[in-house]
Structure 1
Amino acid sequence: MQHATLCYPIEDERVLLIRKKRGLGDGKYVGPGGKLEAGETPRECVVREVEEEVGVTVRDPEKVGEFRFVFGDDPRMYVHVFRAYDFEGTPTETPEADPEWFAFDDVPYDEMWDDDRLWLPHLFEGETFEGTFRFDADGEEMVDHELTFGVAL
């Protein structure tokens, strides 16, 4: 199972999302992040990935969640989810991502993965969570999920 990260920089009741330009989730809005490299911790990965994808340096990202994603019978990804209130830099478009700020009430859930609407509002509220999301083999439709809030990470 591939380990990866997601980060949600937050400022003034707004969240920074990216529209993916390539790879898994191409065309969808997601949090910046990516796959762990050999010997890298999830925290090191999320700092590196946010910097590479949008030119923003997150400081002291807070781990708030862990998810397992299964596509068909294939356990695909284990994702470490972070929230960041302290960061510097101006979000900049890259070959990987087009960043955009959204008010919490205006998050484009209809252009995101099906699971995001279930847990992202809880991230905005400061909660922690863990879960498993099962999608069809193509990753197009969520078919089942388990989700727990208020977990110790």
Structure 2
Amino acid sequence: MQRVTNCILNHQGKMLMLKKPRRGWYVAPGGKMEQGEHIQQAVVREFYEETGLTLQHPQVRGVFTFLMKDEAQGEVMQEWMMFTFYCEDYSGQLLDQSSEGDLEWVELDEVVGKPMAEGDRFYIDHILASRETLYGTFTYTSDFKLLDATLTPKSRK
């Protein structure tokens, strides 16, 4: 099972987002954990690698399981865990160009309207609106069609 971290950085009413070139979808910057790394080390390292910014005191706000299912067989093809952090403070200089895609500060009221995986809308909306940690499982097809989202607490959507 792959483990990944990402962070919603909210600074002065804007969220830093990364537009991935493959699908043109927006994501919160982050990436794969390395062996032996704890989740806070991973999010600080990955966020820095993708943005040039060092997170100050990121807090866990979401813990999720993602399943990719073969629609015809109904079998799970991939499974990973994602630990989503929230942060408002950082240091450093934003990269002019990230190797992972285009970095963009997005007004908070425009974030969930950006092109993204459907499940991302649920957890980003919750984390921007609440201090309560969100737990969930998202099930997708191999082409990223959302089949199911089970969330605790229940989503506002």
Shorter-chain TM-score above 0.5: yes
Whether contact under 8 Å (1:10, 1:84) holds in the other structure is yes
Structure 1 partner of 2:89: 86
Please tell me the root mean square deviation across aligned C-alpha atoms, in Å.
1.6
Superposition pairs of residues 1-150 of structure 1, within 5 angstroms: 1-21=1-21, 26-72=23-69, 73-92=76-95, 93-125=97-129, 126-136=131-141, 138-149=142-153
Whether contact under 8 Å (2:66, 2:138) holds in the other structure is yes
Q: Distance in 2 between matches of 1:39 and 1:91?
A: 28
Per the alignment, in what secondary structure is the counterpart of residue 43 of structure 1?
Answer: helix
Q: Number of aligned pairs?
A: 146
Task: List runs of 5+ in structure 1 lacking aligned partners.
Answer: none
Q: Distance in 2 between matches of 1:10 and 1:64?
A: 13
> Which of structure 1's runs of 4+ aligned residues deviate more than 2 A?
none
Task: List runs of 5+ in structure 2 lacking aligned partners.
Answer: 70-75
Q: Distance in 2 between matches of 1:2 and 1:115?
A: 18
Per the alignment, in what secondary structure is the counterpart of residue 32 of structure 2?
Answer: coil
Per the alignment, in what secondary structure is the counterpart of residue 115 of structure 1?
Answer: helix
**How far does residue 141 in structure 1 lie from its aligned partner after superposition?**
0.2
After TM superposition, the structure 1 stretch with the greater mean CA deviation from structure 2, 89-98 or 44-53, is: 89-98
Q: Whose radius of gyration is greater, 1 or 2?
A: 2
**Distance of aligned partners of 1:132 and 1:149 in 2 relative to their CA distance in 1, 3 Å threshold:** same
